[in-house]
Amino acid sequence: MTNEELHDAMVAAMKAKDKTRLSIIRQVMGEVKNVEVNERRDATEQDVTNMIRRLIKQTSETLEMSEKAGTNQERTDTLREQVEILESLLPAQVSGEALVQLIEETIAEVGATTKKDMGRVMGALNQATGGNFDKAAAAKEVGSRLA
């Protein structure tokens, strides 16, 4: 998601009067703005994606603690909704047939033949997709294709 798409999503949330979504998008935009100010450069699409992933991780950890405590169900529900909103902002993950095709191409490109080459294949997949793929499924598929 680009910075412009994030801004458009914020405007749409304002028009829909979706306060939770608006709050989350503003939080992401604030994090992106920090990158722009601190590093004195425009935020890239990868920067935006990284901020969203970081916020998902933080919110998920808070959600996990809230579920363990079990004292405030309303807060737990809000956190769960926030995680869902953040995940909806991420681009769709490469999976299924597209992932299998990409794995085949990457194995051929890297010249991998043994399980020792699995790290190189996974690294190349990470580079090709920007880390936006189902890593567990990819590892299983790569492992089954290498001797």
Return per-residue pLDDT of the chain as tens, 147 residues: 788 889 999 999 999 999 999 999 999 999 889 988 999 998 888 888 888 989 999 999 999 999 998 888 999 999 999 999 998 888 878 878 888 898 888 888 888 888 888 889 999 888 888 778 878 888 888 888 887
Looking at 17-117, list the stretches that DSSP marks H as alpha helix, in order from N- to C-terminal side: 19-39, 45-69, 73-89, 96-110
Q: Which of 96, 138, 94 shows the shortest CA–CA distance to 119?
A: 138
Q: Under CATH, to which class is 96-145 assigned?
A: mainly alpha
CB contact at 8 A, 122 and 139: yes
Cα(45)–Cα(97) distance, rounded to whole angstroms? 25
pLDDT at 92: 79
Q: Indicate the pTM of the whole model.
A: 0.70
pLDDT at 128: 84
Superfamily per CATH, domain 3-89: Uncharacterised protein YqeY/AIM41, N-terminal domain (1.10.1510.10)
